[in-house]
Amino acid sequence: MKKFLALIGMMTCIFGLSACGSDDGWVTMADLPTSQYEQTYEQQKLQSAMQRAKGQLVPILTSYMSEDSLESLDDFTMEEIAYLVASEMGLGVDGYAFYSAAGSFQSAADSVGNIQRIGEASAKIDGDQIIVHVEVIGDKKNATAEVILSNDMFFMLESAALNPESSKGELMIGAALNTLIGMTTVFVVLILISFIISCFRIVPKLQNSAAERKARQMEASSDVKVIAQKDIAANPAGEDIADQADDLELAAVIAAAVAAYEGSASTDGFVVRSIRRLR
């Protein structure tokens, strides 16, 4: 019984969520009352916006899907484009918005192909804007024209774009690519983490080798100190070994010079006992 009640509660929640998600504010022409007296002011604005988008703006913008017709707008400034559209077509537009919309329709021409017909329209009010979606049927692919108008009595064109619809195959390919990219990223990160973790085993070895190197250096320095202490003990007068060697060489040179001066063949007859430097 408890499982049955839990199942009923789950189904109720699901139906409640689906009901909440279906109310997105979009209204089609079929949803509006046929009599203007039965329509509210907002419904009248939605109907007028859908009629203007479907009957005027989208057909005009589809005429600029060829490259030559789009280049004809390059000779005018944005203010001149707004004036031409207002004077010749009776539509209030922003010049830059109309030029950008014509460029969007022209860029989608290769994907959509030739326009067969213009389908149904739906609209909703979003703050100070009215967003209108118009179905565009092409011989290659269908598309949705998104037209954004000002939420007032003028219905000024603020922006428009033609968005080709993706087929199920394209959506599946896109989903597969996203899945592949996500899985590849996860595996790359895991491999990187495993590499970093494996490097932690090398750190203690490096520390041990550095400690051994430092110990050997300290041992070598202690041996040098011991040798120096022995030399100091052997020379209580503090004489340097290098100085003693230099003095012996100098004594030998002096003895040889004296022997040569005396005409003796050897230095056995005299001994150099001390050497003094004179200024």
Q: How many residues does the chain have?
A: 279
Per-residue pLDDT reduced to its tens digit, 231-270: 555 555 545 555 555 666 767 777 777 776 676 666 666 6
What is the pLDDT confidence band of residue 163, given thresholds at 50, 70 and 90? Answer: very high
Q: Decide: pTM greater than 0.85.
A: no
pLDDT at 11 over 60: no
CB 136 within 8 A of CB 115: yes
The rounded mean pLDDT for the chain is: 79
**In the chain, pLDDT over 90 holds for what percent of residues?**
32
179-190: average pLDDT: 90
* Residue 96: Cβ-neighbour burial (10 angstroms; 0-12, 13-18, 19+): middle
Dist CA 87 CA 151 (whole Å): 22
Which residues, listed in sequence order, are joined to residue 137 by a DSSP beta bridge?
117
Tokens 């329509």 belong to 39
pLDDT at 268: 63
Per-residue pLDDT reduced to its tens digit, 22-65: 446 798 988 888 777 778 888 889 999 999 999 999 999 998 88
pLDDT at 86 over 80: yes
Q: Give 3-state DSSP helix, strand, coil % of the chain, rounded to 5.
A: 60, 15, 25
**Crossing angle of helices 95-107 and 78-89, rounded to 10°:** 90
Structure-block tokens of residue 222: 């202690």
Distance of CA 46 to the CA centre of its chain: 40
CB 100 within 8 A of CB 157: no
Dist CA 120 CA 50 (whole Å): 9
